[in-house]
Homo-oligomer: A and B are copies of this chain.
Amino acid sequence: MSTLSTGPSLPGNAVIAQSGGPTAVINQSLVGCIEALREFSDIGRIYGARHAVAGMVADDFVDLTETPDRTLARVAATPSSALGTSRDKPDEAYCERIFERLAAREIRHFFYIGGNDSSDTCRIVSEVARARGYELRAFHIPKTIDNDLVKNDHTPGFGSAARFVACALMGDSLDNAALPGIKIDVIMGRHAGFLTAASLLARTPAGSGPHLIYVPEATFDLDRFVADVDRIYTREGRCVIAVSEGIHDESGTPIAARIAEQLTGEVEVDAHGNVQLSGSGALGDHLANLIKSRLGKKLRVRSDTFGYLQRSFAGCVSPSDATEAREAGRAAGRAAADGLLEASITIERTSSDPYSVAYTPVRLSEVARKTRTLEPKYIVDGCDIAEEFRGYLAPLVGDLPVVEGL
């Protein structure tokens, strides 16, 4: 925090926006930020921008200054981004249009809740503002189910998505134990395997799956995959597999992108250059068909792709995740009140037992455009996750249902 610059009081209005993929707790951060800004006397009006930067250029704002606490409490508990979101990546001309709108509303404090790409958007807006002489203080509030922001022990949204994955795999492993076969579950995660690795929490004596876990930090080899499945199936008579949507071959090309190109002749790419991975069952189906063709047509092989369910499912929230998302939002509001010129709020684990965290502002450039991945020590033989990952994960996910077999 010592390297962060502060400035004099800057009276004006504030805007808050939500960017990138929604999560189950991103509205907690929105409400936390509003709560802190209401305590901050420099701030006149608090605006929400609908659909993030896209709403700013379209002058689509909602005034949140006097939204009743009762409404905010319900919004905080609602999954997905209440203000709407966007994947736009602003260039200089786009930024110019943003500043026009912000200037018209005398907005001097800019709060951007988002992940990797969104922290970069926040950095771009902040840097272009400085270059153009538009006085703006920009703050990034972390959010991503991928858990891939550097400088963070973990990120808001991840714990609840991990809870969904654990509950789903827990049930699915029991389902597979009851009606044996080979089951492939495809889980979100482009470059980071944290969410797929969270399936480890589903491994209980009653269900015992997933038997294999593949994350994008390890190269995925189709032959090796078939051999792994064959080994487990021969031993157990069944096999549950958790696989990240971001698995890639030796050249770094996602398997999902290769399949999409084969099937449709094209690959969808967003403004940040990300290839579409979610919203299709093609990867799971491809792996299932591969297993059948290699290990036997008569095998019962099924695949499920968890898709968007894992980030917005209503009623599957980790308590610590909800609390921390709220606090991260508040910390951003406080950072502005402390006179910081810009910051990204990070979550530090200050103690493991008892579990506790701190919310520490760092420079935007320390977080933006960087991707954190799963530490190699957690990856076992390219097809499993080490037991010690439970210790890292458990407090983030909360107590899970207790299951027992006969």
Contact = CB atoms under 8 A, between A and B. Distances in A.
Interface of A: 18, 21-22, 24, 48, 51, 62, 64, 67, 71, 74-75, 77-87, 166-168, 170-172, 174-175, 177-179, 183, 206-207, 264, 266, 278-282, 284-285, 288-289, 297, 301-309, 311-316, 400-406
A357 to B, nearest CB: 24
Given A74-B404, A309-B304, A178 B80 contact: yes
B171 A80 contact: yes
A178 B302 contact: no
A71 B80 CA distance: 38
A143 B83 CA distance: 41
Given A62-B406, A315-B400, A404-B74, A306 B308 contact: no
B175 A311 contact: yes
- The 5 A-B pairs of least Cβ separation, nearest first, read A281-B281, A279-B302, A80-B174, A171-B312, A304-B307
A78 B404 contact: yes
Contacts of A313: 167-168, 171
B48 A406 contact: yes
Given A80-B171, A303-B280, A309-B306, A74 B402 contact: yes
Given A82-B206, A305-B305, 8 more contacts: A51-B178, A62-B406, A78-B174, A78-B206, A80-B178, A81-B178, A282-B285, A315-B316
Nearest to A85: B178
A306 B164 CA distance: 13
Copies of this chain assembled into the complex: 2
Contacts of A406: 48, 62, 64, 67, 71, 75, 82-83
13 contacts: A22-B175, A62-B406, A64-B406, A75-B406, A80-B207, A82-B404, A82-B405, A87-B179, A168-B309, A171-B308, A171-B311, A174-B314, A316-B316
A170 B308 CA distance: 12
A170 B391 CA distance: 32
A82 B24 CA distance: 31
A178 B285 contact: no
A71 B166 CA distance: 22
A402 B312 contact: no
Contacts of A266: 297
Contacts of A281: 280-282, 284-285, 303-305
A177 B51 CA distance: 10
A75 to B, nearest CB: 5
A82 B71 CA distance: 43
A314 B163 CA distance: 10
A312 to B, nearest CB: 3
A174 B18 CA distance: 14
Contact of A179 (B77, B79, B84, B400): B84
Contacts of A177: 80, 84
B264 A289 contact: yes
Contact of A307 (B178, B301, B302): B302
A192 to B, nearest CB: 20
A266 B306 CA distance: 26
Contacts of A80: 171, 174-175, 177-178, 207
B280 A302 contact: yes
Contacts of A288: 279-280
Nearest to A169: B314
Contacts of A71: 404, 406
